[in-house]
Chain A
Amino acid sequence: MEDKEIFDKIVGIIGPFAKNKENVANVSDGSNILKDFEVNSSRLVDIILALEDEFDIEISDEEAEKIETIGDAVNLIKEKV
């Protein structure tokens, strides 16, 4: 799967959870999911579940804790698909 495709799918999944839609529209690899998108931290659980379903992978709690930016998520998923 191309990086761009993974990136777009991740942004598509996180988008609805974001309070700051403007920053989602201007997303980059460095976008911080909690700070830039203003995602409620409790919703990270839902985002991880949605990523697991979308890419048919499993993400451990330890791996999930290391995801801060969109780029972190892309890199983790690239390793697993």
Chain B
Amino acid sequence: MRRVVVTGLGVIAPNGHGLEEFENALRKSVSGIRFIDKLAELKFGCQVGGIPESVENKLPNYFTEEELLAMNEGMIYTGIAGIDAWKDAGLNVPEKNGDVVNWDAGCAVGVGLGGMDTISEKLIPKIAAGKVRRMGSTMVEQCMTSAITAKLSGLLALGNQVTTNSSACNTGTEAIVDSYNRIKFGLADKMLAGGAEGSSPYTWGGFDGMKVLCSDFNDTPQEASRPMSESAGGFIPGSGCGILLLESLESAEKRGARIYAEIIGSSLNCGGHRMGGSMTAPNPTSVQNCIKNAMNEAGITGDQVDAINGHLTATMADPIEVDNWSKGLNRSADNFPYINSTKSLIGHCLGAAGSIESVASVLQLHKGFVHKSLNCEDLHEKIQPYAKSVVQETKDVDIKILAKASFGFGDVNGCIIYKKWD
């Protein structure tokens, strides 16, 4: 088995684009949650959300005019984060008309609900009006679930496996685990791994209809995303993309690459909608097994985990999650690692969540800090025993091992153990 390290990071999030801006936002608790006029116009209960800012101005730095004719929001976010991660790893963006194919590099970037902007604004209206002939040539390449990675492979001439996975809110984490395994087993040297999600109201509407979005803080958007809080009333939708360039240690050392962290263990599983699990609720046993399996692969015990970057969405599942971490790590409340929720700053970016939060996790390990979990001054009563572990103020601390997990509709779970590279 080969060792797998993180050598590049790319992120476009509601509170920052690029590593410098994103790290600054994490450290200074900059919220990316804003009032969204369109949601109010459409009479959503939740009228706030997280959308990356000023993307339009950045486009000429990444894409040609011709490319942009067939790129929707998810494809753009993936392209930006993917190219950023590639360059951050010290790799050259290949010539558009050249013959160089990076046979040793692929990508797995997932999405929750792909191409929804194109589907809702172009595909369905044209077909419903009987105008299929006037739809043009770009619908399939934007609406197919694999649109984001199909485009990314062309931008970077990727010649290894190119795929888009989907497992609801576990999508981004799953993509990283799958990519890690592909490199571990020697099938690729480099994988761009992560998740992306657009901000179409048609993506978010289903969740609003379920009443799982928070509608109590429309007038104070930055207070709306409240993981672990007693006054949490549902999650806040977000969008963007996070991508990690994973690489075999052998390849990274050979080219003298800067290494951020090592993935030392991971796990994916499902609760089978049994033992308390359902389409929308996690089976606690499967969550705890997922955490334990990741630690087993890493060859560590729970007491070696310094910090947790939780799934922690700001729903009633937060206290259950904290309890699962306690049981999975075998760490009681008085001996619990740091825990924070990046969603408190950016909302729940659905298919992109696990990957943007993994970028935050790796940055915290690499730079030696844990970021404040915003809006949880009033901790949920069942989380209060863990109060000293909940990061209420950003602090510099030399964490060595961080556990990142995501849980998704369908009772699916993913956990990754990141270790600081010294």
Contact = CB atoms under 8 A, between A and B. Distances in A.
A46 B137 contact: yes
Interface residues of B, number: 10
Interface stretch (A1-9, A11-19, A28-36): A11-19
B118 to A, nearest CB: 14
Contacts of B136: 45-46, 49
B280 interface: no
Nearest to A19: B66
B134 A19 contact: no
B197 to A, nearest CB: 27
Residues of A contacting B: mostly: helix
B94 to A, nearest CB: 15
B138 interface: yes
B69 A16 contact: yes
B65 A43 contact: no
Contacts of B57: none
A18 B66 contact: yes
B64 A45 contact: no
Residues of B contacting A: mostly: loop
A45 B97 CA distance: 23
Interface in B332-371: none
Contacts, number: 23
A16 B137 contact: no
A43 B64 contact: no
Nearest to B67: A19
Contacts of A42: 137
B64 A49 contact: no
Interface in B57-110: 64-66, 69, 96-97
Contact of B69 (A17, A44, A49): A17
A19 B137 contact: no
A46 B138 contact: yes
Contacts of A19: 64, 66, 96-97
Scoring B64, B66, B96 by chain A CB atoms within 10 A of each residue's CB, the highest score goes to B66
B69 A46 contact: yes
Nearest to A17: B66
B66 A16 contact: yes
A44 B134 CA distance: 12
Scoring B69, B134, B136, B137 by chain A CB atoms within 10 A of each residue's CB, the highest score goes to B137
Contacts of B64: 19
Nearest to B138: A46
Interface string B203-233: 0000000000000000000000000000000
Nearest to A44: B137
A26 to B, nearest CB: 18
Nearest to A53: B134
Contacts of A45: 136-137
A24 B69 CA distance: 17
Contacts of A43: 69, 137
A19 B68 CA distance: 12
Contacts of B69: 16-17, 43, 46
Nearest to A18: B66
A42 B134 CA distance: 14
Interface string A37-61: 0001011111001000000000000
Nearest to A41: B137
B134 A49 contact: yes
Contacts of B66: 16-19, 40
A16 B70 CA distance: 11
A46 to B, nearest CB: 5
A52 B96 CA distance: 31
A25 to B, nearest CB: 14
Contacts of A17: 66, 69
A16 B97 CA distance: 17
Contacts of A46: 69, 136-138
A44 B138 CA distance: 11
Interface string B99-140: 000000000000000000000000000000000001011100
8 contacts: A16-B66, A19-B64, A19-B66, A19-B96, A43-B69, A45-B136, A45-B137, A46-B137
User: Ordered nearest first, which 8 A-B pairs have the shortest CB separation?
Assistant: A45-B137, A42-B137, A46-B136, A16-B65, A46-B137, A19-B66, A43-B137, A49-B134
